[in-house]
Structure 1
Amino acid sequence: MTNTHPGPADVPPSVRMYEMLYSSLVSQVLIAVADIGVADAFDDGPSHVDDLAERLGCHTESLYRALRALASVGVFSEVAPRTFTLTPLARTLRGDGPDSMRDLARYLGRPERQLSFGAMAHTLRTGRPAFDHVNGTDLWSLLGARSDLGTLFDRAMGNMARMVNSSTLAAHDLSGARRLVDVGGGHGHLVATLLTRYPELTAVVFDLPRVIPEAVAVLGAAGVLDRVECVAGDFFTSVPEGGDTYLLSWTIHDWDDEDSVRILRNVRAAMGDTGRELILIDDVLPEGDAPHFGKFEDIVILTLLTGRSRTEAEFAKLLSAAGFRHVETRPTSAPTSLLIAHPV
């Protein structure tokens, strides 16, 4: 039988829009299988859906239909009738892998977050986060009040930190640095990677008090805890002094211009006369219609928070207002870029 489905160039706009409207279903199925732990239920080789369903306590036919759908986009592969194997994409949904995205997927599926996107029209009408509107409080307050949600969020950010590690290492040479201060460093995954790469480097992981115990555990497991100081605090108040290199990874985009400058000024104050370099890891948006993942990351921020993704010129303006000079921007293999700035 001849396939009569038109090619991409021939798809009418209404059909293309139909496909775009349904594209979120990929994310929803990924979230569901991550939450259940489907990828972790696989042995080393292929598994029949009947065996998977028994291990997971799932309805067999429903699980099959979900795996069949994900296999059509390269997540899992149906290697024989009703028998699937893990693909490289599916392996990132395992909880035990070095490039695991499972905690991120589970966090993205939380109802507090999902409901916010269902109410995005509120944000478009008012300019205020839909998250606050549907949850009765802002994201940061809820994370602080709910230990279960806060812990999952921190682990999801750890997934994201590991994703940018290799890109960061490839994009910038830190061999001249002696003491790195990771401001908002989370569980310390990025610092652990950098200390492994640079044996002469020492570091400070600085974040909220609730984050520090897990950071100590992560850095201890990486075997670098003897070269790290884990410090609890609030970057709106102050930042640890004594570093020659300061790092802010996926942090500035969470905040509006006023708060961003406040954070950056506290970093500048901590650097004093001896700090030499600030590194920002963040989305840097191209101008015009050019596609970039950060333009949709910006919609996430718009819906959940008060910050924004920014262009290079907008970052340079923030840095200048805080006492820095933007030196260069370096793309990475991740969706983020490195912005290098020097104190003035």
Structure 2
Amino acid sequence: MENLTVHGQERPRKAHEGAAEHPRGTAPRSTDPQAQQRMMALLHGALVTQLLVVAEEFGIAEILAGGPAPVSQLARRCGAHERSLHRLLRALASQGVFQEVEAGTFALTPLAETLRADVPGSVRAWIRFWGMPEKLQAINSLSYSVRTGRPAFPHVHGTEWWSYLAAHPEHAELFNDAMGEMARRVHAVAVESCDLSGVRRVVDVGGGQGHLLATILPRHPELRATLLDQPSVIRGAKAVLEAAGVADRVDLVGGDFFDGVPEGADTYLLSMILHDWDDEQCITVLEVIRRAMAPDAQVVVIDAIVPAGNTPHDGKLRDTVMMALHPGRERTEAEFSALFAAAGLRHVSTTGLASSTGLLVARAYPVVGRREESGAGGGPASGA
């Protein structure tokens, strides 16, 4: 193998170098122009994200809720540089976010409506959370995670994600708002796909500030609930539950679900919890729940359920965010089944709901003969 000369010194040519060289006398084959355009669109994805974050920061969608407005007026109202704001809006309009209805005048589009705070389907809190610089720094260091198998966030910031949020209440608020938005918009729909007939008490394990309970309890007037999360988190739950008119039906419990959960409930809800943790930690949480649950109780897990192969799925992209922030990951149905089995639970059903969410139900094996029954044939009924 010939050597390369670099800065006047020879070094051995690496095995992969020159592998794609073309034989002498032949021209390199051009790549597909459509593939080039697709790749450039992918590269621009991070840029579009940042444009959305800035548009939300300046409250453009809220200002335009009153109707189209010229950039000069928008700039005065939000405190922006007029020409720079026009360039921002022009770029977003090219993506269907806002519309330049005439030269220098912009209006909302259905896509831009989702940037508003108080409209159904709003993603404003999620955009604000996505723009959190510390989160983006970890994602920008994703190569560290790929190289080492460890989350990049502690490597970049010197502390793990949850400790960082506990020490920075303003960022914890961003996180809680985004999770609440997701709970109201997506997870409540998932719970409604589960049969809650006969359920008397549900424990929302790691349920944040109660946004999911605030959405589902009004639809089930006979249902009572317990909300379990860190004391610093559930302090914000009272206002959320009172606004929904269900505060008198929810017990607030501050605690750590690795140590224990309230006993005797017939449904234990884990909404976007297990994906934060590695397999051993997930099994610990599930074992804690199994010891606490009533004999006929169920565990309901809401999480992405990653399909095999090349099927597009939001969970496959979100999994790389988990890789940067947490020791956990998004999982396949089979991987969830394995977690349940390791914790002494029986996976009984799966419902695929959307590209980002699925719902799995597990129950405890009978105390007598559990080992024999766990080895029986037959898999879970799947609606995925």
Q: 2:124 aligns with which of 102, 105, 125?
A: 102
1:305 corresponds to: 326
Q: 2:277 aligns with which of 237, 240, 255?
A: 255
Q: 1:161 aligns with which of 165, 183, 194?
A: 183
1:287 corresponds to: 308
Distance 1:260 1:82, change over 3 A: same
SS of the residue corresponding to residue 93 of structure 1 reads coil
Q: CA deviation at 1:92?
A: 2.1
Cα distance in 2 for residues equivalent to 1:76 and 1:246: 42
2:24 corresponds to: none
1:20 aligns with 2:42: yes
1:35 corresponds to: 57
Q: CA deviation at 1:169?
A: 4.8
Q: CA deviation at 1:166?
A: 4.8
Q: CA deviation at 1:248?
A: 0.5
RMSD of Structure 2 on Structure 1 (CA): 1.7
Q: Which moved more, 1:83-92 or 1:150-159?
A: 83-92
Q: 2:75 aligns with which of 53, 69, 82?
A: 53
Q: Write the letter of the residue equivalent to 2:342.
A: A
1:318 aligns with 2:339: yes
Bigger Rg, structure 1 or 2: 2
| Contact kept in structure 2, 1:35 and 1:105, CA below 8 Å | no
Q: Could you say which structure has the greater relative contact order, defined with CA pairs below 8 angstroms and 6 or more residues apart?
A: 1
1:3 corresponds to: none
Cα distance in 2 for residues equivalent to 1:247 and 1:166: 11
Q: Write the letter of the residue equivalent to 2:312.
A: P
Distance 1:102 1:204, change over 3 A: same
Q: 2:298 aligns with which of 257, 268, 277?
A: 277
Q: Which moved more, 1:90-99 or 1:312-321?
A: 90-99
2:137 corresponds to: 115
Distance 1:166 1:137, change over 3 A: closer
Q: CA deviation at 1:184?
A: 0.7
Q: CA deviation at 1:81?
A: 2.5
Mapping 1:145-224, distance limit 5 Å:
145-224=167-246
How high is the TM-score relative to the length of structure 1? Answer: 0.92
Q: Write the letter of the residue equivalent to 2:343.
A: A
| Contact kept in structure 2, 1:164 and 1:334, CA below 8 Å | no
1:234 corresponds to: 256
Cα distance in 2 for residues equivalent to 1:21 and 1:164: 28
Q: CA deviation at 1:10?
A: 5.8
Cα distance in 2 for residues equivalent to 1:144 and 1:165: 24
Cα distance in 1 for residues equivalent to 2:312 and 2:107: 32
Cα distance in 1 for residues equivalent to 2:187 and 2:238: 18
Q: CA deviation at 1:146?
A: 1.2
Structure 1 ranges of 4+ moved more than 6 A: none
Q: CA deviation at 1:151?
A: 1.7
| Contact kept in structure 2, 1:165 and 1:193, CA below 8 Å | no
Q: CA deviation at 1:270?
A: 1.4
Q: CA deviation at 1:12?
A: 4.4
SS of the residue corresponding to residue 176 of structure 1 reads coil
- Provide, for residues 17-47 of structure 1, a one-character-per-residue CA deviation record: whole Å limited to 9, x for no partner: 2322222111111111122222222233222
- Provide, for residues 62-81 of structure 1, a one-character-per-residue CA deviation record: whole Å limited to 9, x for no partner: 22222222222222222333
2:379 corresponds to: none
Q: Write the letter of the residue equivalent to 2:328.
A: G
Cα distance in 1 for residues equivalent to 2:264 and 2:239: 24
SS of the residue corresponding to residue 208 of structure 2 reads coil
| Contact kept in structure 2, 1:163 and 1:334, CA below 8 Å | no
Q: Which moved more, 1:79-88 or 1:211-220?
A: 79-88
| Contact kept in structure 2, 1:203 and 1:228, CA below 8 Å | yes
SS of the residue corresponding to residue 235 of structure 2 reads helix
Cα distance in 2 for residues equivalent to 1:222 and 1:278: 25
Q: CA deviation at 1:215?
A: 0.9
| Contact kept in structure 1, 2:188 and 2:216, CA below 8 Å | no
Q: CA deviation at 1:95?
A: 2.3
2:87 corresponds to: 65
Gaps in structure 2 of 5+ consecutive residues: 1-30, 366-384
SS of the residue corresponding to residue 181 of structure 1 reads strand
